Amino acid sequence: MATSSSSRRNAGASRGAAADTVAALALAVLIGCVGIDVPSAGPDVWVEPATGMRFVRVPAGSFTMGTPPGVPGREPEEIPHEVTLTRDFYLGQFEVTQAQWATVMQDNPSHFQACGPDCPVERVSWLDVQAFIAALEARAPDSRFRLPTEAEWEYACRAGTSTRYAMGDRLTTDLANFDGRYPDPGAPAGVSRGTPVPVGSFPPNGWGLYDMHGNVWEWTDDWHCPYPTGAAIDPRGVCEAGKRVIRGGSWFFDANSARCGLRYDHDPRDLGFSLGFRLVRVGQ
């Protein structure tokens, strides 16, 4: 993988009943298809009033984090292990947009400003995101926010699946924004858009979350630590790693970078034109 210059954009968070319906249908399908580790609750979306950021409730559950040996593109560090998340959490339904960033920070650091207000904000460091969270909380004193842990992110990406992507073992540029010149092994080439696109331009995963694969990489709260050797409960990446994990690939990277199990990282001071984020609402 190349070093990412990331970018972001703020999208207006006004998605409406249609998106709610899509999320509801997606959850209904999921509940009908998966086993005991699958969340059983119905759709539940919370909208942050100042920015319109939408958060989907992800119910507690267990999953296998990591990637089995033999899966194409797997890195050795993706050691499979059981993870249990004991509490529901609210995760951003979309990447944070340029409009949302501007509402809170009164600026727009994105490289791709011409992409528009509904494109993901990019060119924000992990430290910039902490400043965004502090400013957002100052506007909304009854709410607290943070980046997702790496385990929360992968759990939400998989949405009850165990394939390379939430929609199967191959990703196409009809399903996500990655560099289609570099498809999965044996898959045909796709589109190379050369830019982020407005959030929510592709179908959501089974839990109603958009752009977990591609568009922009997403910061997590965790340092890049080795995985635990056994089962883990509510794991957090706390070690002296020096770099924070990013997840999900981007418009600038290949299909494999967008796998749910793929780990990558950056110094928390780094920023670039294909690195953005989504948030977790804390304590709800």
Per-residue interface string for the shown chain with Ca ion, residues 208-247, x marking contact by CB under 5 A: ---x---x--------------------------------
For the bound state, the minimum distance from the C-beta of residue 216 to Ca ion, rounded and expressed in Å, comes to 5
Answer for which of 160, 183, 190, 248 binds Ca ion (CB under 5 A) is: 248
Residue sitting closest to Ca ion (CB): 248
Count of residues that interact with Ca ion, criterion CB under 5 A: 3
> What stretches of the chain show up as alpha helix (H) in DSSP?
17-33, 98-105, 126-139, 150-158
x/- letters, 171..190, toward Ca ion (CB under 5 A): --------------------
Cα 3 to Cα 236: distance, rounded to the nearest angstrom: 25
Closest residue by Cα to residue 280 from 121, 93, 28, 138: 93
CB of 278 to Ca ion, least distance (A): 8
Find where tokens 């207006």 sit.
Answer: 12
Which residue lies nearer to Ca ion by CB, 89 or 253? 253
CA-CA distance, 6 to 99, in Å (whole number)?
Answer: 17
b/e string for 37-53 if b means 16 or more Cβ within 10 A? ebbeeebbbeebeebbb
Q: Which residue number, 211 or 221, has a Cβ lying nearer to Ca ion?
A: 211
Question: Residue 231 CB, nearest distance to Ca ion (Å)?
Answer: 28
Interacting span for Ca ion (CB under 5 A) from 19-27, 147-155, 194-202, 205-213:
205-213
Of 160 and 248, nearer to Ca ion (C-beta) is: 248
**Of 280, 277, 263, 222, nearest in space to 110 by CA:** 277
Burial of residue 185, with CB atoms counted within 10 A of its CB: 0-12 exposed, 13-18 middle, 19 or more buried? exposed
CB of 276 to Ca ion, least distance (A): 7
Nearer to Ca ion, 99 or 156 (CB): 156
Binding region for Ca ion (CB under 5 A): 211, 215, 248
